């Protein structure tokens, strides 16, 4: 079967303003879409009122526009998609692929304290029911078959979800859909064929593939990018208050993101000229 036409995306959470790391992801996902003659979609992942900053979504779009990066279709805002996440959760529950869990983080830690094992793994305590305790979260039932995929940059990657993570949360105890669920439902809804994003999400990918399979959605191709680190060697994060991109150095920002992707200086006079020059160079390295 022919591959569907390329549809890529950039999906920032508005937990702060764009920083050098998010510009690198935006630029690379845009270039990969253009190199493949495809579309680039922007989705604002604003479903976490505890972490989102009011107005940051609009500011992110304005910053992208300064770099001449604009979504090819209307921007999708996750706060408009809550019904779709609820529907996906009901489907998974009805099919027995997901279940309600009554355990708090403390109870899981206590369990590991007594029985041992990796405290990051959910030991499946509510797999066969909560024993009458009220449901807090919803978890996806996983097995221990290796979930494998080949990242375009990092190569083969494999995880055994049951022994490495256990059944994982798809609706949080505060009632909000988990990132893993929202991202998979929306990548499916938007027909995304190619995901280009930071390497910090590489080890989330097997969970997302397990969810795609459970929901009968196609599996996109993946390219995970090198992270931009601060002077202390830590990943830049909006939430941790990474410095926003300076407003007066558009070309410098683009060149630095481009250097972070491993390419030599372009030296263009405008974002449009920069992007035009970068597409064939990107295509020469990553295909298109």
Instruction: Indicate the annotated binding residues for Zn(2+).
Output: 101, 103, 122, 126
Q: Which of 13, 63, 159, 180 binds ligand GLU (CB under 6 A)?
A: 13
Stretch (H or E) spanning 108: helix 105-115
Q: Does 61 bind ligand GLU (CB under 6 A)?
A: no
Q: Does 201 bind ligand GLU (CB under 6 A)?
A: yes
Q: Does 242 bind ligand GLU (CB under 6 A)?
A: no
Q: Does 205 bind ligand GLU (CB under 6 A)?
A: no
Nearer to ligand GLU, 136 or 197 (CB): 197
Q: Which of 6, 8, 12, 211 binds ligand GLU (CB under 6 A)?
A: 12
Q: Which of 19, 32, 45, 52 binds ligand GLU (CB under 6 A)?
A: 45
For residue 250, count CB atoms less than 10 angstroms from its CB and return exposed for 0-12, middle for 13-18, buried for 19 or more. middle
Q: Residue length, the chain? A: 288
Nearer to ligand GLU, 187 or 255 (CB): 187
The C-alpha atoms of residue 118 and residue 11 are separated, in whole angstroms, by 31
Nearer to ligand GLU, 47 or 101 (CB): 47
Minimum distance from CB of 217 to ligand GLU (Å)?
A: 14
Nearer to ligand GLU, 138 or 183 (CB): 183
- Stretches 6-14, 65-73, 121-129, 166-174: which one binds ligand GLU (CB under 6 A)? 6-14
Enter the tokens of residue 195. Answer: 């995901």
238 is a catalytic site residue: yes
Stretch (H or E) spanning 39: strand 39-44
Minimum distance from CB of 98 to ligand GLU (Å)?
A: 20
Q: Which of 197, 224, 225, 260 binds ligand GLU (CB under 6 A)?
A: 197
Among candidates 195, 263, 204, 255, which has minimal Cα distance to 224?
195
Minimum distance from CB of 183 to ligand GLU (Å)?
A: 5
Nearer to ligand GLU, 136 or 224 (CB): 224
Q: Does 11 bind ligand GLU (CB under 6 A)?
A: yes
Minimum distance from CB of 130 to ligand GLU (Å)?
A: 30
Strand spans (E) along 105-259:
137-140, 146-151, 155-160, 168-171, 194-198, 221-225
Among candidates 17, 41, 96, which has minimal Cα distance to 220?
41
Q: Sketch the per residue contact string, 171 through 190, with ligand GLU: x for CB under 6 A, - otherwise.
A: ------------x-------
Q: Indicate the Cα dihedral angle 95, 135, 176, 138, nearest 10°.
A: -30
Among candidates 284, 268, 190, 250, which has minimal Cα distance to 68?
250
For 248, other C-beta atoms within 10 Å of its C-beta total 6
Strand spans (E) along 180-268:
194-198, 221-225
- Reduced to 3 states (helix: H, G, I; strand: E, B; else coil), residue 191 is coil
Q: Which residues bind ligand GLU (CB under 6 A)?
A: 11-13, 45, 183, 197, 201
Query: What amino acid positions are annotated as catalytic residues?
Result: 238
């Amino acid at each position: 079967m022919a591959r569907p036409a390329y549809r890529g995306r950039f999906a920032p959470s508005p937990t702060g303003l764009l920083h050098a790391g998010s510009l690198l992801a935006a630029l690379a996902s845009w270039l990969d879409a253009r190199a493949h003659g495809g579309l680039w979609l922007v989705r604002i992942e604003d479903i976490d009122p505890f972490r989102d900053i009011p107005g940051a979504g609009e500011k992110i779009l304005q910053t992208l526009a300064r770099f001449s990066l604009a979504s090819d279709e209307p921007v999708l805002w996750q706060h408009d998609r809550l019904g779709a996440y609820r529907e996906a959760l009901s489907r998974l529950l009805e099919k027995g692929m997901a279940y309600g869990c009554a355990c708090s983080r403390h109870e899981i830690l206590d369990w590991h304290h007594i029985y041992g094992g990796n405290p990051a793994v959910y030991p499946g305590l509510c797999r066969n029911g909560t024993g009458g305790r009220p449901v807090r979260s919803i978890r996806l039932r996983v097995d221990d078959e290796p979930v494998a995929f080949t990242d375009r940059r990092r190569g083969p990657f494999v995880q055994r979800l049951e022994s490495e993570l256990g059944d994982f949360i798809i609706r949080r105890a505060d009632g909000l859909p988990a990132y893993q669920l929202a991202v998979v439902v929306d990548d499916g809804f938007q027909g995304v064929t190619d995901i280009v994003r930071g390497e910090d999400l590489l080890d989330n990918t097997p969970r997302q593939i397990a969810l795609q399979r459970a929901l009968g959605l196609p599996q996109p191709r993946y390219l995970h990018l090198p992270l931009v680190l601060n002077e202390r060697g830590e990943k830049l994060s909006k939430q941790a208050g990474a410095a926003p991109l300076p407003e007066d150095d558009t070309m410098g920002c683009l060149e630095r993101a481009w250097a972070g992707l491993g390419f030599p200086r372009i030296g263009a006079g405008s974002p449009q000229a920069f992007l035009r020059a970068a597409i064939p160079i990107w295509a020469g390295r990553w295909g298109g």
